Structure 1
Amino acid sequence: MTVHAIIGGTGLTELNGLSLRDAFFQETPYGPPSANILRGEYAGHEVLFLARHGHPHRIPPHQVNYRANLWALKQAGAQAVLAVNAVGGIHAAMGAGHFCVPHQLIDYTYGREHTFFAGDLEHVTHIDFSYPYDEALRKYLIAALAAEGYDFSGHGVYGCTQGPRLETAAEVVRLERDGCDIVGMTGMPEAALARELELPYACLALVVNPAAGKATGVITMAEIEAALAEGIGKARKVLARVLAGSA
């Protein structure tokens, strides 16, 4: 039976319903991961959980130690990764509360430690990253969202920006012109590092606000927090379905 790791983003620093077996700190050659790894049972299946931004939420997107996080989960026994990400909506269909299971991404980040293949190498390695998300995991997420009756899109392009600031309206115009449907700050290098470790990886993205320029007025944290409060509970139900194989 596959051991799934869940990486929780903003709003998901703990996994309610997890029957905790142990919590442990996993050493890595790349420094400390964001938080202790929680191991236990969720929906009757073994699962690992890691809070991407720490617990409490304290690590900004550009300072997350993505290499340590993925390495730690792999060493702890993870065989597949389900990532939960809070994002902004660019496409008209991506309103607050909408879920997206992206099939593609564009990386706009810079200065992040983005690969394990660096330093004193015996040979150069190039991974195939044509299709960054595992299709089987995507289908499980899509089936779970459909079974729950939630508003979702089964395809989408995730544009990953540097953060921690939100984007300008002009930047969102550029992202839309590039083909992005949603925008977030944590999708990369996480997805690429999972591929380097041969970990199947998929993203459950929750839209928590319209992207800059897509709504009147400024984007407020109150609006984002309200969307998170409602959406994260739904995300937990989706994850439970996927893990239980009942989607």
Structure 2
Amino acid sequence: MERDEQVPQAIDPNTPSVARMYDYYLGGKDNFPADREAAEKIIQLVPTIKQIARDNRDFLIRVVRTLAAAGIRQFIDIGAGLPTRQNVHEVALEAAPDSRIVYVDNDPIVLVHARALLADSPQTAVVRADLRDPASILDAPEVRAHIDFTRPVAVLLFAILHFVPDDKEAEEIVSRLRAPLVGGSHLALSHSYAGDMTGEALSSGRSVYRPATSGSLTPRSAEQVGAYFEGLDLLEPGVVPIDAWRPEWPDVEPDFGRPSLLGGVARIR
């Protein structure tokens, strides 16, 4: 953002924001010096982080297209982040014009931008709620007005669960979000994965993210990420690095040795 641009109320430009750091990785301009400084520290630790962010966006696009092709017409994107290219509603509505989309976030600047972008889009809604309180999402009047839970719904958790450091809490959040979903619904998520990063590098990364979120950042193993889908029908190719989930190019092989995001999609029985 330009220095002389007015900062919306309730936004602290001096404290890094996860959403604005991610915007910086993607080459966006909705970020402040504090966000760029923190993001550059992460880039020093994980030089491929910008590519990982782009891979996550491409993963989102492929997932939404896959779900729309499977007949899903309702999407709840939790931890939606700042609007960028090919957002969920754009991909879903292009594939299925009767889709309905709810964006959920608790970052004030995300809400300002999303509501401005979607003001004239009756098939989308923007809700302020917190991942750590699933009831605040599922019971929000805007969600209940926009989403019919008697029909299949896709819950999207892209690059958000790793900001919940407690394993049990993360598992409980996913369980509670799954609870109201009827058969034919889907859960899709991506999650930070350390690969061959050293303990020292992980500690440094957590220290950078700590001021930006109450939970810092906690990478998890493929087994831990896979556990979120327990009891569901996991779509092929299972839980893999996101660039290897149904890639456009057939020669992409899963590389579990490098830092990345792991991703998966599963169907509720």
Say yes or no: TM over 0.5: no
Higher helix residue share = 2
State TM-score, norm by structure 2: 0.28
Higher strand residue share = 1
Higher relative contact order (CA 8 A, sep 6+): 1
State TM-score, norm by structure 1: 0.29
